[in-house]
Structure formats: C-alpha cells, structure tokens
C-alpha cells in the first residue's frame, strides 16, 4: 500500500549476520531479516499464453537424507540457478529435474502437473518443496471433482501426457508446451485452472 502497488511479489530472507562466531556454526550471531517487494510481470513471459519450453536438467533433486528438502533454503537453489542458466542458453524457459531415484520431480522454482484422460498427475512431494501454490491448485482441482494422483512418475511417462503446467508463487499457473522432445497441448483444463487461480489471488 505504501508503494502504491496492487500486484507485487514479496520475498523474505533470513540469515545469520556478523558476530563473534564467523565459522560454520555461527550460533551466537544475530539472525537478520530482509523483506523485499517488487512489481513482477509474468515469470515466464509470453509462455503464459503459448506454453513454456523446458530443458531436462543434468542435476538431480537430492535425497531427504542429504539435505532438508522441504525447507525453502538458499543452498537448495544452487542447482536451480545452474540448471536454469543452462536451459536459457538452449532457448528454454526453465528446466525439469528428476530426483535422486530417477523419478520426475519439479522445475527450478515451480512444481509440475500433468493431465491424461481427464485426470491430473503430479509428482509426490517427498524430496522437494510442497509448494503452497501446488497445494492450493490440488484443492481447486478436487473442488471441481477432478481426480488428482500424487505419485511417482517415470520419465518415459512424459510421452503419454496430454497437458502440463507449472505452479509457484512467481509462476502462478503456467502452461508447458514442451519438455525436451515431448510436446503438450495448452488445453482447456490448463487454461481453466490458470484463470481460476489468477482470479483467486487477485480477488
């Protein structure tokens, strides 16, 4: 309100500041907090209309035994940044990760959904962040009477899916038109859920 914004993105960052212990522990140092806000258009540009193009990352989402995978922590974004840079160098909007077992996981900053035969499939969030937008969209789909399968998805299944979209705070609901060599229709269900989510957050 103070900035005169009607539509903006807010990001909070907390970290250990300078203090008596500058080693790895830093337990005696104060916690610092910064909150930034800015106006942000479509995260994927014109992909909101025609569908984003995704590369397949060489990096894998790590095991829950190696890192706190459900935390929105800066360290987890290292492979996201390098994967997105590599994808953009190939003319793509983003990259899709497989997890440490080889299952489909998520994009660099967004969860992923697929449609087949009128039912929705999304990877089980057991080694990556279960995004709030993801949870909201699952609830919206179920309210519409649609079946949502949260399950492990093999990469070879990509060929059989008809529609695909990404969800995230910045991405909102963004259609996907291509992942690697696999193409998807920006279909009615994708557009409906994208429009419904946009109305929800801007009501």
Residues assigned a catalytic role: 72
How far apart are the C-alpha atoms of 140 and 138, rounded to whole Å? 5
What is the crossing angle of helices 132-143 and 188-201, to 10°? 120
How far apart are the C-alpha atoms of 158 and 180, rounded to whole Å? 10
Provide the phi-psi class of 133: left if phi over 0, else alpha when psi is between -120 and 50, else beta. alpha
How far apart are the C-alpha atoms of 143 and 130, rounded to whole Å? 19
How far apart are the C-alpha atoms of 202 and 49, rounded to whole Å? 18
**Alpha-carbon dihedral of residues 151, 157, 161, 163, nearest 10 degrees?**
70
Task: Decide if 32 contacts 43 (C-beta within 8 A).
Answer: no
In the numeric block, the tokens 């900053």 are attached to 109
């Amino acid at each position: 309100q103070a900035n005169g914004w009607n539509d903006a993105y807010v990001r909070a960052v907390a970290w250990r500041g300078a203090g008596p212990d500058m080693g790895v522990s830093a337990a005696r140092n104060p916690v610092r907090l910064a909150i930034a806000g800015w106006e942000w258009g479509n995260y994927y540009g014109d992909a909101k209309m025609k569908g984003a193009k995704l590369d397949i990352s060489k990096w894998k989402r790590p095991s829950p035994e190696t890192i706190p995978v459900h935390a929105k922590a800066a360290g987890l974004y290292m492979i996201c940044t390098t994967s997105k840079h590599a994808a953009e160098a190939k003319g793509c909007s983003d990259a899709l990760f497989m997890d440490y077992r080889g299952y489909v996981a998520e994009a660099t900053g967004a969860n992923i959904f697929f449609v087949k035969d009128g039912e929705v499939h999304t990877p089980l969030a057991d080694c990556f962040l279960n995004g709030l937008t993801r949870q909201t969209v699952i609830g919206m789909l179920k309210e519409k009477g649609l079946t949502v399968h949260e399950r492990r998805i093999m990469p070879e299944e990509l060929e059989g899916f008809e529609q695909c979209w990404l969800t995230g705070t910045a991405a909102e609901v963004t259609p996907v038109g291509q992942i690697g060599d696999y193409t998807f229709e920006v279909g009615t269900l994708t557009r409906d859920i994208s429009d419904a989510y946009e109305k929800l957050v801007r009501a």
